[in-house]
Amino acid sequence: MAKIEDTKAKKEKTKEDLDHLCDKFSADIHSMTEEIGNEWTEDLSKQVVSFSNAAIEQIKEKVEAQARKELEEHLSRARIEKARTIKCFEVFLSTSPLRLLDKSISVKLLDGAYSAFSKYDCASEIHYEFLLDSKSSSLFGKEMKFSEYTRSEIKIPFRMAKSWVKKEPVIDYLRLDQYVMTSADATESTLLTSYADADGKSKIKIVYSRREGSSPFLTVEYSDGVSNTNISSNPTLSSRLDVETLSNNMERIWLSINDLEKHKTALLKLTYREKDIPENLDASEFFDECWNVLAPKILSAIKSQDSGPRQSDVIEEKGVREKLELLGRQGESILRTIGLALS
């Protein structure tokens, strides 16, 4: 990128210098006024300047063409280096090496297909997102309806209606086999799914929560653009909910969403203290922080060589030193960070 800026500056300087040439030629000719006289001076000046302008414009075009060629070469190398750098970020972050504060996976229906991505909030103000391959899932490879992942028909009581036959109200039910999932958001303890009918007028939202050692919690809401009903908070309606069947299906969706995390395809975002790392390609502070965070694990893996048979997560100190020596002073700084005395 520095070469790109240098090429641009050099081009502008050359064009500016060429523009000044005509002024210099004219000044040199007028300095000979006494020798050749005013009349001939003006005539000579006009001819030289006219000829010079044409020649200079030709040179400017060549300078412009040469600069474009150099810029394209620099930009091509920059794009390649940026792609390599982002790929390194992807490889590094795909294993979730940093301490997570929060994680979520989202699936959204867009033009008949599901887009899936995961978000990670880590300690030290590090945030990143990955695009996930939804086609790898049997559930999210196409539009998903209730009828496609349950063997039994599911109905939801969504309102109480008056009956001309009976005095007490009757329950109206919705068949869910024609409702399509439009979005799903999963965290460690909660799954929120949204569904819509064919025309999008009526919608259902189901929130499924569970924590280790406690029973699952289910919330079902219905809306049709006119009214909103929290079915779970209405005792008459909630008592008729098939909680077990709904919970089993929510569990299946939850497991399928979590399985998508194994299928990362591209890094969408990486920020450190709100600074966009891939955009600026200035990763020195980001990696300094990563070394600080990972230093105890690295040092522990190196020292564990003396504790018995070699394990898969053991790192050889010699190999670490050899690789870091390639980084010069930065490598020395990293060795100090991870607690290894310099040789």
Q: pLDDT tens digit string along 292-340?
A: 888 888 888 887 655 555 556 677 888 888 888 888 888 888 888 888 7
DSSP 232: G
Q: What is the pLDDT, as a whole number, of residue 182?
A: 94
Q: Which uninterrupted H or E stretch holds 208?
A: strand 203-209
Residue 162: band (very low, low, confident or very high) from pLDDT cuts 50, 70, 90: low
Q: What are the pLDDT digits (tens) for 82-125? A: 899 899 999 999 989 999 999 999 999 998 889 999 999 998 89
Q: What is the mean pLDDT of residues 248-255?
A: 89
If you average pLDDT over residues 257-282, what whole number do you get?
91
Give the global pTM. Answer: 0.75
Q: Of 110, 133, 11, 114, which is closest to residue 60 (Cα–Cα)? A: 11
Q: What's the alpha-carbon Rg for the chain, to the nearest Å?
A: 34
- Residue ranges per domain, the chain? 2-92, 100-264, 283-343
Which structure tokens are listed for 294?
A: 């990972």
Q: How far apart are the first and last CA of the chain?
A: 36
**Eight-state DSSP code of residue 310:** P
**Residue 185: helix, strand or coil by DSSP?**
strand
Tokens of 15: 């064009």
Listed ranges 156-165, 187-196, 241-250; the one with the highest mean pLDDT:
187-196
Whether 30 shows a pLDDT value over 60: the answer reads: yes
In the chain, pLDDT over 90 holds for what percent of residues?
29
Contacts of 170 (CB under 8 A, 6+ apart): 160, 161, 162, 163
